[in-house]
Amino acid sequence: MSWNCDTEIDHALEKLSQDFPHLNWDFSPDPFSGNNELISHWLGEKSEEVMVGVFKGKKIEERFHRQDFFFIHFAYHGDYDALSANYNNRITVKEGDCYIGQPYSGYAVKHDSDHECIILGVLIRKETFFREYLSALSADSSMLNFFLEPQKNKYAEEFVHLEIPASSPIWQLLNVMILEYAHKTEDSQKILKPMVMSLAMYISYEYKRQHLPTGTTLIDRIMEYIESHSDSVTLNDIASHFGYHPVYISRLLPKKTGKTFSALLAESRMRRAKLLLDHTDLSIEKIADMLGYSNSSNFYKTFKQYYGTSPRQL
């Protein structure tokens, strides 16, 4: 997608592609799978929490393997094929697409053509992702479920395949990340990690736009808005967003759903709360903050009312 870029980007891509064969390609048998599958461990330096890798060439035949980190692959130039354990399928990742893999999901890249392709990979340590990036994605229940699945099922095998529009800021962001990682300094991780946060947010937006049904009625759209902004939404926010008076919205919701705005908001927050409590090691105080509660006592009270038990007793 960003193939017509300036010389500096081309040089950075070339450098990273030359580094590609020398990454830490440590494939070892998975002692837990029971069928001699291979595990790829972290490919970057031990001190790195995120990294950028580039394959550039006409042929690549990866061994089918699993990996102990999150990864986002972009078909930066040309198409390539991806093998996935889920559904035993082989999909074509076309130029401009991205493929997101969970830790331990089965995967292999395949490309054999007269035409060169460039595959750009953004890799994120699992621990880093849950510590630093999960909170930013917690307002989107669909993506939250995808990223939390490996916490409850090590071999979840799910993946996300998206088409990224040429106009998306993702491509400009990736170019900056390419330049930074190709010319690393002692501050590169501090620079790259916020960029990965932005990348995750843009991808979450694209996922929702492409995969989730869009409500056609006003009440459907209001419910979607509450679900997507449950950490901070107010009745006035909804009224302003849809161009109605707050009193009208406050009467419309119980009329159409049988529940007040406060009840709908609490439901949305409580669904996320249970997911986070069940599948992460985040503290209750951190979860309360992620969900938009100004103090944890309000969170405890709402949780007890909704589930009939304390969050500490789950």
**Rounded distance, CA 42 to CA 7, Å?**
30
* pLDDT tier at 224, thresholds 50, 70, 90: confident
Residue 153, pLDDT score: 45
Of 44, 9, 17, 12, the C-alpha closest to 117 is: 17
Average pLDDT over residues 229-247: 92
- pLDDT of 4 > 70? The answer is no
Residues 98 and 124 in one domain: yes
- pLDDT tens, 108-144? 899 999 999 999 999 999 889 888 877 666 666 666 6
- pLDDT tens, 39-54? 888 999 999 999 999 9
Residues 112 and 169 in one domain: yes
CA distances (Å), origin 113, targets 59, 117, 248:
6, 9, 60
Share of the chain above pLDDT 70, in %: 86
**Rounded distance, CA 65 to CA 39, Å?**
6
Tell me whether residue 21 is exposed, middle or buried, using C-beta atoms within 10 angstroms of its C-beta: 0 to 12, 13 to 18, 19 or more: exposed
Using the Cα atoms of residue 122, residue 126, residue 131 and residue 135 in order, give the sign of their dihedral.
Answer: positive
Residue 1 lies in a domain: no
Share of the chain above pLDDT 90, in %: 52
**Rounded distance, CA 261 to CA 235, Å?**
7
Residues 195 and 235 in one domain: no
Question: Phi and psi of 124, rounded to 5°?
Answer: -135, 125
**Rounded distance, CA 174 to CA 193, Å?**
12
Range of the domain at 203: 7-211
Residue 2 lies in a domain: no
Global pTM reads: 0.77
Number of domains into which the chain is organized: 2
Contact 52, 89 (CB under 8 A): no
